[in-house]
Amino acid sequence: MEILEIEVTCPDEESARDIAKACLRAHLIACANLLPKVESLFCWQGQIDSESEVLLRMKARASHFERVAECIRHHHPYSLPAIIALPVSMHGPGVAEWVASETKGAQVSE
């Protein structure tokens, strides 16, 4: 089973936490990490801008990526959240099995 780390920046901890909880309730992810106070620099509408954001990182089955992305878009306050998925190599026995166990009852997002 392939595991992904799915990342998206959020404007604040509350929105990141809401997205993580929605994905957890639907069993789409096994866990989430909120990394506050990330400085993001980006081009938007022809200008260079910067914001203080929260990076939300979640571990999920690769087969659930589209449903996780749908859940993120549904709960995210940005009109165009940048949702990124990276393949993960897990070290040690048990971690991939734990992700599989926690996401076996995946449901469609709320």
The answer to whether residue 85 sits within a structural domain is yes
pLDDT (0 to 100) of residue 17: 98
Give the model confidence (pLDDT) of 11-51 as tens digits.
Answer: 999 999 999 999 999 999 999 999 999 999 999 899 999 99
Q: Is 43 helix (H, G, I), strand (E, B) or coil?
A: strand
Note whether residue 37 is domain-resident.
yes
Domain count within the chain: 1
In a domain, 109, yes or no: no
pLDDT, tens digit (0-9, with 9 covering 90-100), for 57-69: 999 999 999 999 9
Q: Alpha-carbon dihedral of residues 11, 12, 15, 18, nearest 10 degrees? A: 150
Residue range of the domain that includes 13: 3-102
CATH code, 66: 3.30.70.120
**What average pLDDT does the segment 89-98 reach?**
80
